[in-house]
Structure 1
C-alpha cells in the first residue's frame, strides 16, 4: 500500500472499549493490508528447505505481514495488557487472546447480553434530556447488543415511544 502521507493513529485498548477498539483496529489493519493475516492466520511450514523460491518469497511476505499486524496490535495496548499476550507468536493468536479476554467465553457473552437487554428495557428519556442525547444512549445500547450477537429485528421496536416523558404527548399519540 502506498503511503498517502496521512498518519494512522493506533487506538488504545482500555478496560471498557474493546468493541469500539476492535472495530477501529479492523479498519486500521485493513488499511495496512494485513487484516487477512489476522483473520486467517499465518502458519509456518514444517520444512522450509523443500519450498520453491516462489513459495519462499510468499512465506517471507506472509511473515512480514503477520509481524506488521502484530506490531500494530501491540501499539494499541498498555503494558499490563501487553503482558497478557506477550507470549503469542502470531497476530491471529494475539487477536483471539484479546477477544477472549475482553469478550469472554460463551457464558460471559450470555450474561453480557442479558445485562444489555436489561439496559435496553430500562431506557427512558429523562425529564429535560435532549432528544439527541437520549437517541445517542439508545444507539449505544443497540450497537452493543448487535456487537454481542443480538438479532435486533426480533427486538421490541414498539417500546421506544413509551419511554418518552409526558412533555412529548404528540409523539406518543402518533405511535399508538
Structure 2
C-alpha cells in the first residue's frame, strides 16, 4: 500500500512475498512509470558498441542511471527469498523476468482459487438462525475474494443472490423489495 511521500520517494513501498505477485506487480508498474524507468524494466536497453559516439554514450549513461534507479526499487520491494533470486541479475529487465518466472504459478493458483470461491458462492445460503447482517457480510466477503482473484461481479448479481438465498422467514420482505426497487441499479449497501 502506498503511503504519503517524502519528496518523490514513497514512504511505504509494497513488498513482494510468496502470496501477492499480481497486486505487487501492478503496484510496481505504477511506481516504475511514476519514476520514469518503466521502459528499461520492460524493454531493457542496448549495450554500448565499441567506438560509439559521444551522443550514444550520453544516452547509454542515462539508461544505466534509469536501470540502477529501477533496480533500487526492486531491491527495496522484495522479501529476502525474492532478493536472493534477483541478486545476480545484471539489469532490471533480467531481474523482472526472473520474478515473473518464479511467480508464474500465481495466475494458475488464482484460477484454482477462483473456482473454489465460485463453488462456495453458488452453494451459499442463509442459515436458519443467522442474522441478516452476518449473512450479508459472508456474501460480501466471498464476492470481495472473488473480485481479488479476477472475477467481475456486479452489485445486481450480489443483490439478486442475497434476495434469492435469504431464509424463508424473509420471503415477504424479498417480495416487497422486488416490487418497490429496481434491482438493476440497487446497490448492495442500499439493500
TM-score norm. by structure 1 comes to 0.72
| C-alpha deviation, 1:158, in angstroms | 5.2
Q: Which residue of 2 aligns with 1:145?
A: 150
Q: Which residue of 1 aligns with 2:136?
A: 131
Alpha-carbon separation, structure 2, partners of 1:52 and 1:33: 25
Range moving further from structure 2, 70-79 or 157-166: 157-166
Q: Which residue of 2 aligns with 1:98?
A: 99
| C-alpha deviation, 1:27, in angstroms | 1.5
Q: Which residue of 2 aligns with 1:76?
A: 77
Matched, 1:24 2:22: no
Change beyond 3 A, Cα 1:6–1:57: closer
| Unmatched segments (≥5 aa) in structure 1 | 147-151
Alpha-carbon separation, structure 1, partners of 2:116 and 2:7: 45
- Larger Rg over CA atoms: 2
| C-alpha deviation, 1:113, in angstroms | 1.2
Contact 1:34/1:69 (<8 A) preserved: yes
Alpha-carbon separation, structure 2, partners of 1:87 and 1:59: 21
| C-alpha deviation, 1:132, in angstroms | 5.8
Aligned length: 161
Q: Which residue of 2 aligns with 1:43?
A: 46
Alpha-carbon separation, structure 1, partners of 2:160 and 2:22: 28
CA RMSD of aligned residues (A): 3.3
Alpha-carbon separation, structure 1, partners of 2:157 and 2:47: 53
Give the structure, 1 or 2, with the largest relative contact order (CA under 8 Å, sep 6 or more): 1
Q: Which residue of 2 aligns with 1:10?
A: 13
| Unmatched segments (≥5 aa) in structure 2 | 184-191
Range moving further from structure 2, 165-174 or 92-101: 165-174
